[in-house]
Amino acid sequence: MEPAAVVFAILFLVVVVTIFMGVRLVPQGFEFVVQRLGKYHSTLKPGLNFIIPYVDIVAYRLTTKDIPLEIGAQEAITKDNAVIVANAIAFIKIVDPVKAVYGISNYEYAIQNLVMTSLRAIIGEMELDLALSSRDIIKARLKDIISDDVTDWGILVKSVEIQDIKPSESMQKAMEQQATAERLKRAMILEAEGKKEAMIREAEGKLEAAKKEAEAQMMLAEASAKAIQDIAVAVGDKELPALFLLGDRYVNAIQKLSTSPNAKNFVLPADILGAVKGIAGRSV
Chosen domain end from 140, 167, 194: 167
Please report the pLDDT score of residue 66 as a whole number: 92
Residue 215 CA neighbour count, 13 Å, CB half: 6
Residues 157 and 185 in one domain: no
pLDDT in tens, the chain (284 residues): 577 777 778 887 887 888 888 888 999 999 999 999 889 999 999 999 999 988 999 999 999 999 999 988 888 888 888 888 888 999 999 999 999 999 888 999 999 999 999 999 998 898 888 888 888 888 888 888 888 888 889 999 998 888 888 887 766 676 667 777 777 788 788 888 888 888 888 888 888 887 888 787 778 767 766 766 666 666 555 555 555 555 666 666 666 666 666 555 555 554 555 555 555 555 44
Q: How many domains does the chain have?
A: 4
Chosen domain end from 48, 63, 78: 63
Residues 225 and 181 in one domain: yes
Q: How far is CA 172 from CA 56, 109, 130, 185, 226, in A?
A: 59, 31, 16, 20, 79
| Torsion angle (degrees, nearest 10) of CA 274, 280, 281, 284 | -30
Give residue 248's domain range.
237-284
Residues 187 and 274 in one domain: no
What do you get for the CA distance between the two ends of the chain, in Å? 181
Q: How far apart are CA 132 and CA 136, in angstroms?
A: 11
What CATH number does the domain containing 121 carry? 3.30.479.30
Chosen domain end from 44, 63, 82: 63
Please report the pLDDT score of residue 197 as a whole number: 83
Nearest to 153 by CA among 87, 45, 67, 278: 67
Let me know: does 89 contact 66? Beta carbons within 8 Å.
Answer: no
Please report the pLDDT score of residue 234 as a whole number: 63
Q: Across the chain, which distance is largest between two alpha carbons, in Å?
A: 183
Provide the edge-to-edge strand list for the sheet that holds 83-94: 67-77, 83-94, 155-167
